[in-house]
Chains A and B, each alone.
Chain A
């Protein structure tokens, strides 16, 4: 009896994806907004929030009764959009546990599709979970940061992440990520949500069309690249070959990291989706060096943006920690499955999910 590993891995990937879609559907249907429980709070009804604040100042925080009284009142028509608040009747542990499982599957899929966790986390969690976009972006940055911190040491030791390439790029991207984070927190949520939708759709197109080059040909290194020492050597483990590399179009690449940093900070996405094409296709770094350096870069870029979000109270530990743990466990399993799975199928499915979640974010931002 023969075992067709190719067919098995293909069907395994399909099962994984179907499971993921079912999980998303379950989460979506569990959401307070679809349960017909959406409640518009008038100024009078928003009193429980103020009461929570007042009670908290007295060191004991309890608003259960006042919130119940708010939910028992009739919804008021024509209230400002900002006052609308969905009522969630699930126990407090429901969403963190859902996030843990969701992020576990997300971690597996992200590794197999070759994308970072943040780029999937933010649009999907903001679209299917009840959390406000501020907290989703804060958690998204922490997720991307944790993944980068975990992967960084191995990449640096194997020389797949190159400090000489990373340092100048990181300085620009991290400074701009701060500006992006401040911009994202200052703008109205609807505008950020709309821009997020457009960005996610753009990322999906980028993933669909970009054809990374394993070893780009760089005939002559430019002056900026020489001055910054952006060159190196690495050992290709699969062939035992020693690969020398150097960069070109370095200034253009560095300038693009301004935009990458701003987007990473503004949307809390991480930025591997943009780092790799710029380092690889534009600047001419070999794909392995580009991927390794990109992952390492996230530990710096996302750190600066994460601090801004954390200082503004946008990180809720109850939701951020299960997200981090779930995604990291999923990544570990994903790396093991990568050896037997068919990543190309998963990649196309992820692109489809990005198109869907991008469109959903766009429509949500536009209020449709």
Chain B
């Protein structure tokens, strides 16, 4: 590798830099969103699905018991209750969890433009895996 090649290699690739930028601004937006919704929740601006004072009785139980007692829906069912103080926190949390999917979609496009087909395929497969996880179709047995 010549010195010029090395200098080029030291720098992160444009695809990597794009990924970093999307991650940075997305994470910032997600954190701010999360803090806003949390503030609305704990200061009682929005009525929660489960009253705050009931939570200490429920968080010692399993997730299945918590869901049943509080009528907390599985998967994306929370969207129907997004006007509730506790449930609206999932907007920011879900955005943070979805951010990697957005970044990988952008990465796949960038890699395709540069003809890096193997890496692009891996990036697309990653999108599929993350979408499968996010879809809510994978339901574990309750214990």
Which residues from 292 to 342 on chain A have a C-beta closer than 8 Å to any C-beta of chain B?
299-300, 303-308, 310-321, 324-325
| B contacts, CB < 8 Å to A | 1, 6, 9-13, 15-17, 19-21, 23-24, 26-27, 30-31, 34-35, 37-38, 41-42, 49-63, 65-76, 86, 89-90, 93-94, 96-97, 99-101, 107, 118-119, 122-123, 125-126, 129-130, 132-134, 136, 138-143
Q: Is the CB of A187 within 8 A of B143?
A: yes
Residue of B nearest to A179 (CB): B138
Can you list 17 contacts pairing A with B, beta carbon distance less than 8 Å?
A48-B57, A56-B70, A61-B70, A95-B59, A132-B59, A132-B61, A145-B96, A145-B97, A153-B20, A154-B20, A157-B16, A174-B133, A182-B138, A303-B101, A310-B94, A319-B59, A325-B35
Q: Are B93 and A320 in contact (CB under 8 A)?
A: yes
Contacts of A175 in B (CB 8 A): 129
| Contact partner, B23, options A153, A316, A325, Cβ 8 Å | A153
Is B50 in contact with A61, judged by CB distance below 8 angstroms? yes
Asked if A281 is at the interface (CB within 8 A of a chain B CB), the reply is no
- On chain A, the number of residues with a Cβ less than 8 Å from chain B's Cβ atoms is 91
CB distance from B20 to the nearest CB of A (A): 4
Nearest residue (CB) in B for A184 is B140
- Secondary structure dominating the interface of A: helix
- Sample of 6 further A-B pairs with CB below 8 A, known A153-B21, A178-B138, A318-B42: A32-B60, A53-B68, A149-B99, A228-B118, A314-B63, A325-B35
**Interface-centre pick from B1, B6, B69 (highest chain A CB count, 10 A):** B69
Query: Across chains A and B, which 9 residue pairs bring their CB atoms closest together, nearest first?
Result: A317-B89, A185-B140, A153-B24, A156-B20, A233-B9, A134-B63, A307-B133, A182-B140, A304-B133
